[in-house]
Amino acid sequence: MTDQQALLATTTSAVRAIIDEKVAELVAAGTARPKVGLVPTMGALHDGHGALFEQARAENDLVIASIFVNPLQFDQPEDYEHYPRDLEADLELVTEYGGDIVFAPSTQHMYPGFPDAPHIRVSAGQMGQMFEGASRPGHFDGVCTVVAKLWNILMPPPPAVFRSYFGRKDAQQLAIVTRMAKDLNIDVKIRPVELVRAPSGLALSSRNVRLDDHGMEKALGLSKALHFLSDQATRGEPLDISAARDMIRAHEDVDLDYLEIVDPDTLTPLTEEQLAAPLEREALALVAAWVPPVRLIDNMLLSP
Ligand code: AMP
């Protein structure tokens, strides 16, 4: 199912009708277990999202995109208000990236009665309180709540199988949604997708459009510090987090929030001893910093 304009649905009943019909068509055409891939996004699509679609397209019979700027995961009203939105451009991009269906509900459709609703929300637990969660209280509860809703709305009927694509750009989010599917027995397979960078090294992000040239230059400190740690890891040298932190702070008015090296699955920080010895297994360097007027995150897997 390619080369066609992606179908837009803005309500749960409309999108489910389309999914049911497409799955039935695939079964009728002889696909015993149609594969359905979901790419959840907040829109303002760029080539980082493109990588998710590319992988989803290659692995599935039907590719669904969701586009929803989820108010529950923003802790700053200013960030929510200024988050870039352009549904028309996004629809074209989803089509270009090979998506079949776009689910783009309104806030009131997702959360009837918002802001007093939803009453029941998913807690991301301890994993949601570290790093991004420590700086953005409630962020991962908001992510888990919307992702659980999207999975419930968009899960295809049997005999189809369901996969959900998440970028390594948001490494903590990937670890948390993987854990949520397992802990809550949700029948979805999580597929991680590699982080996409600009040629400069900057991790592609919808928020980058708010950076001017000078801001872009300052933002490069994040990826440079991560490469510095990655090179140390490959050479089997001790990991010098303080030097990496200084590389980011060297840029005027960049406010480093955190730079830590953790276990990729549990997000537990490595001990001083582990940092001083050559790595025994893959570790994850996580960084977040304010590069006015935006807060940026980045990360890199460090290989022994
Ligand atoms: P967002 O629209 O920012 O919520 O992102 C939607 C999905 O795209 C998430 O799974 C992100 O991790 C992923 N994503 C965003 N930027 C990138 C990137 N530069 N590389 C890989 N995945 C990305």
**99 pLDDT exceeds 80?**
yes
**95 pLDDT exceeds 70?**
yes
Q: Which two tokens stand for residue 272?
A: 């001083």
Shortest-distance Cα residue to atom 12 of ligand 1? 167
Q: What is the pLDDT of residues 158-209, one digit of tens each?
A: 999 999 999 999 999 999 999 999 999 999 999 999 999 999 999 999 999 9
Shortest-distance Cα residue to atom 21 of ligand 1? 195
Give the number of the atom of ligand 1 that is nearest the alpha carbon of residue 166: 10
- What local confidence, expressed as pLDDT, does residue 4 receive? 81
- What local confidence, expressed as pLDDT, does residue 3 receive? 62
CA of 304 to the centre of ligand 1 (A): 26
**2 pLDDT exceeds 60?**
no
Helix H, strand E, coil C: the string for 38-101 is EEEECCCCCHHHHHHHHHHHHHCCEEEEEECCCHHHCCCHHHHHHCCCCHHHHHHHHHHHCCCE
Q: What's the whole-model pTM score?
A: 0.95
Query: Which of 49, 109, 227, 251 is labelled catalytic?
Result: 49
Mean pLDDT of 288-298: 96
Q: Confidence band (pLDDT; 50, 70, 90) for 1?
A: low
CB 248 within 8 A of CB 222: yes
Give the number of the atom of ligand 1 that is nearest the alpha carbon of residue 196: 20
CA of 31 to the centre of ligand 1 (A): 30
- What local confidence, expressed as pLDDT, does residue 171 receive? 96
Range with the lowest mean pLDDT among 167-171, 191-195, 214-218, 250-254? 250-254
Give the residue from 195, 1, 11 showing the smallest Cα distance to 95: 1
Pocket test for ligand 1, best of 38, 52, 102, 207 (most atoms within 8 A of CB): 52
Mean pLDDT of 281-300: 96
Report the alpha-carbon distance of residue 222 to residue 295 in Å, rounded. Answer: 12
Mean pLDDT of 103-114: 98
Look over the chain and give the mean of its residue pLDDT values, rounded to a whole number. 96
Q: What is the pLDDT of residues 136-152, one digit of tens each?
A: 999 999 999 999 999 99
Residues with CB under 6 A from ligand 1: 41-42, 48-49, 51-52, 166-167, 169-170, 193, 195-196, 203-206
Share of the chain above pLDDT 90, in %: 97
Q: Which two tokens stand for residue 210?
A: 């708010």
Give the number of the atom of ligand 1 that is nearest the alpha carbon of residue 42: 2
Peptide bond into 115 cis (omega under 30): yes
Residue 49 annotated to the active site: yes
- What local confidence, expressed as pLDDT, does residue 46 receive? 95
